[in-house]
Structure 1
Amino acid sequence: MIEIFTTGGTIDKVYFDALSEFQIGPAAIPDLLRENNVHVPHRVTQLMRKDSLELDDADRAAIRAAVEASDASRILVTHGTDTMVLTGRVLAGIAGKTIVMTGAMQPASVRASDAEFNVGFALAAAQILPPGVYIAMNGMIFDPATTEKDRAGARFVAQDRG
C-alpha cells in the first residue's frame, strides 16, 4: 500500500473561469490514477491545498507528522515545486519509510503538463527505492539535501558540492 499525501502546488492548479488566474483546486491525483488505469494499492489523503510558497514551518511539521503517523512504509507526497526541497529536508530522518515527493511545472489540468509522467515515475520510485527521502522529477531521482530547483531551466538539479 502506498499512502499518497497531497498538499497543493501547481499540480492541483485549475482555472475557475476565463478571467481568473490559476488557483489551487481539488487534488488532481485521484483522477490521474483512475484515467491512467493505475492499480497499485494506494490511498489518497489531502493534507492541504496551498501553493508551496505559502507553506510555513507549521505546515511542514503537519506534513511530517502525517508521514510519521501513517501505517504505510511507502509514501508519495505531491507538493509545489518552489519549496519541495525544503519540505524534503524536513522529512529527513523518518526511519523505515520510503518517501517520494513529486509535483509538476504545469498544472495537471493543462495538456502540456508534466504531471502524469511525474506521478507515474514517483509511484514506481516509491515501490522500488530503499527507505529515505527522494524527489522524483524530470525523469530523475534527487536527494533533497543536495538538490535545488532551477527556475530558469524549469527543472531540478543536483547542487555542485565540489
Structure 2
Amino acid sequence: MLILNTGGTFNKRYNKINGELEVPYDNYAIEKILESFTSQYSVAGVIYKDSLDIDTNDRKMLTSIIMESVEDTFLIVHGTDTMHESAEFLSTIFTNKKIVFTGSMKPFEIDTIESTLNLGVAIGFLKSLEKYGVYICMNGNVESWDKIEKNRQKGKFELV
C-alpha cells in the first residue's frame, strides 16, 4: 500500500506569523498517526495543496504516479472540497487498482480524532478489500466514490 499525500485540511497547520492555516510541504500529520500502527506504510507527498487549488494537471500527476507504481493499492489523503472530482477522474482511468480517498473536515493540528479515525478506517478497509475500484472513506463510511459525497450544509460526508 502506498499513501499519497496531496495536502488538504487534513494536513493544514496554523502559521503564527501570518495567522493563516496553510498546507505545509511535509507529511507530518500522516506520519504522526502512523506511529501508532504496527505495520509500516510508505508515504509520498505529491501535491501539498488545498483541494480547491487542485486542477487537472495535479490529477494527471496522481495518475502517472499510480501508473508507474508497482503497488496496486493506494490511499490518497486529499482535501474534501474536490475529493469527489479527483475520485471520479481516477475512476475513469483505473480498473485494476484499489484506491481509497480520505481527508478530514478539521486539521489534524486542531483536532486529531477525525483525521486519525479516517486514516485508520481507510487503511483497514484497503487491507481487507478484494475488489478493484475507487472509494471514499469519510465520517465512518467507506463507499464507492459515486455513492458518497460532501454535504456542504451539514459539513459532513453522506451516502447518496
Which residue in 1 is equivalent to 2:103? 103
Alignment map for 1:1-162 (pairs within 5 Å): 2-17=1-16, 20-25=19-24, 26-27=26-27, 28-34=29-35, 37-92=36-91, 93-111=93-111, 113-129=113-129, 130-159=131-160
Whether the 8 Å contact between 1:64 and 1:90 is mirrored in structure 2 is no
Count how many residue pairs are aligned between Structure 1 and Structure 2.
156
CA distance in 2 between counterparts of 1:19 and 1:56 reads 26
TM-superposed CA distance for 1:156, in Å, is 1.3
Structure 1 residues 25-56: Cα deviation after superposition (integer angstroms, max 9, x where no partner)? 2222011111xx21223201100110000011
Find runs of 4+ consecutive structure 1 residues off by over 4 angstroms: none
Give 1:13 deviation, angstroms: 0.2
| CA distance 1:153–1:112, shift in 2 (3 Å) | farther
- Consecutive unaligned residues of structure 1, counting only runs of 5 or more, are none
Structure 2 residue identity aligned to 1:46: G
**One-letter code aligned to 1:53:** L
**In 2, distance between residues paired with 1:18 and 1:119?**
30
Deviations 1:102-156 (A, max 9, x none): 0000001113641000000010111112211000111101222243210121211
Q: Deviations over 1:13-34 (max 9, x none)?
A: 0002075111112222011111
Q: Write the distance in 2 (CA, Å) between the matches of 1:146 and 1:137.
A: 12
Identity %: 32
Q: Provide the rounded CA distance (Å) in 1 between the counterparts of 2:18 and 2:97.
A: 43
Which amino acid in the other structure matches residue 9 of structure 2?
T
Aligned-CA RMSD value: 1.5
Asked if the contact 1:105–1:113 (Cα under 8 Å) also holds between the matched residues in 2, the reply is no
- Cα distance in structure 1, aligned partners of 2:112 and 2:69: 33
Letter in 1 for 2:126: A
* Stretch deviating more after TM superposition (7-16 or 112-121): 112-121
TM-score by length of 1: 0.90
Compute the TM-score of the two structures, normalised by the length of structure 2.
0.91
Name the amino acid aligned to 1:65. Answer: S
Q: Is the 8 A contact 1:6 1:44 kept in 2?
A: yes
